[in-house]
Structure 1
Amino acid sequence: MQKVPLTLRGAEKLREELRVLKSETRPQIIAAIAEARAHGDLKENAEYHAAREQQSFAEGRIAEIEAKLSNAQVIDVTQLDAGGKVVFGCTVELADIVSGDEVRYQIVGEDEADIKGGQISVNSPIARALIGKFEGDEVAVRVPAGDREFEIVKVLYI
């Protein structure tokens, strides 16, 4: 199976979510099921069915996180020194050549992407265009809104 890149911060976030699901959420759901069972007839017991549905979602999420972590190639960006080259995990400051607007993105794994938080997926058009380029390079990117050109102002490994 192919390894999926994941930043150290992203892996820690998934591990924490897994810990909460296993040590806090799962016991709460089990207690809710036990309490609902005590109320009697399970066929017409809405609390029981709701708790079972919660349990199903929680167990599904636990399995999903465990699968992601087992297939992850965790990359510690702070240990990289690619000499100004854009690589997975780095943070890139870009200047739009036409408007002069500056943006800052960190290139992260598919599951970590959060455009509002400045994190773009390694599979996004912008990230694919940036990977392998260096500080000072100009990059043309085809995005849904049309073609845009950026200059790579700075590459950070933080």
Structure 2
Amino acid sequence: MSKFPITITGAELLRAELQRLKTVDRPNVIAAIAEARSHGDLSENAEYDAAKERQGFIEGRIKEIEGKLGNAQIIDPKLLDADGRVVFGATVEMEDLEGEGGKIVTYQIVGDDEADIKQGKVSVSSPVARALIGKYAGDIAEVHTPGGVREYEVIDVKYI
């Protein structure tokens, strides 16, 4: 498996989830399995089946996060020196030149796992990020969306 980029914040969120899974969720599900086992016949015990299923999910997620953290290339946007160019981790302020026009939007380009459009974080593999990578303030980015091509003017690029 090759390395994939993730911001420091994204890596911290994965580590926090891993810690919670190992110290809270795993012990809780083990206790739930023990409780369900104490009820006797396991062949018709829905609580036991549900707890075992939950345990499988938790163990799978722990392995998945450990794998991701092991293959992560952690990038600190504050340490980037891209001379104003849009790169992974950059925060881009841009103006929507389509529709009503003049609408200013700000996005940070992040890894797939940490993307959250409500928080202004777009995945590096999204159409918006792919259109922005390599652009400078003043450039026009054409974003190919399912609804057609949208144009954005890059106003500012920050590394925060």
* TM-score interval for Structure 1 and Structure 2 normalised by the shorter chain: over 0.9
Aligned to 2:128: 126
- Work out the CA distance in 2 between the residues paired with 1:61 and 1:147: 37
2:4 counterpart residue number: 4
User: 1 CA distance for matches of 2:77 and 2:59?
Assistant: 31
1:97 shift after superposition: 2.1
Structure 2 match to 1:69: 69
Moved more, 130-139 or 5-14: 130-139
Residues 29-61 of structure 1 deviation map (CA, whole Å, 9 limit, x = unaligned): 101111111111111111111110110111111
Aligned residue number for residue 139 of structure 1? 141
Q: State TM-score, norm by structure 2.
A: 0.95
Correspondence 1:112 to 2:107: no
Q: Deviations over 1:46-90 (max 9, x none)?
A: 111111011011111111111111111110111113221101011
In structure 2, the residue matched to 1:16 is: 16
Aligned to 1:31: 31
Q: Distance in 2 between matches of 1:85 and 1:32?
A: 52
Unaligned runs of 5+ in 1: none
> What CA distance in whole angstroms lies between the structure 2 residues aligned with 1:51 and 1:140?
49
Query: What CA RMSD, in Å, does the superposition of the two structures yield over aligned residues?
Result: 1.0
Residues in 1 aligned to 2:121 and 2:151: alpha-carbon distance in whole angstroms = 19
TM-score by length of structure 1 reads 0.96
Moved over 4 A (4+): none
AA in 1 matched with 2:97? I
Cα distance in 2 between the residues matched to 1:120 and 1:3: 19
Give % identity.
Answer: 63
**CA distance in 2 between partners of 1:24 and 1:120 (Å):** 30
1:41 match: secondary structure:
coil
Note the C-alpha offset of 1:140.
Answer: 1.6
Aligned residues: 158
| 1:112-153 C-alpha deviation (Å, 9 max, x unpaired) | 111122111101111111111111111222111211111111
1:145 aligned partner, one-letter code:
G
Cα distance in structure 1, aligned partners of 2:44 and 2:86: 58
Q: Which residue of 2 aligns with 1:79?
A: 79
Q: Is 1:89 aligned to 2:75, yes or no?
A: no
Q: Is 1:58 equivalent to 2:58 in the alignment?
A: yes
- CA separation in 1, counterparts of 2:27 and 2:52? 13
Identify which range, 50-59 or 136-145, moves more after superposition. 136-145
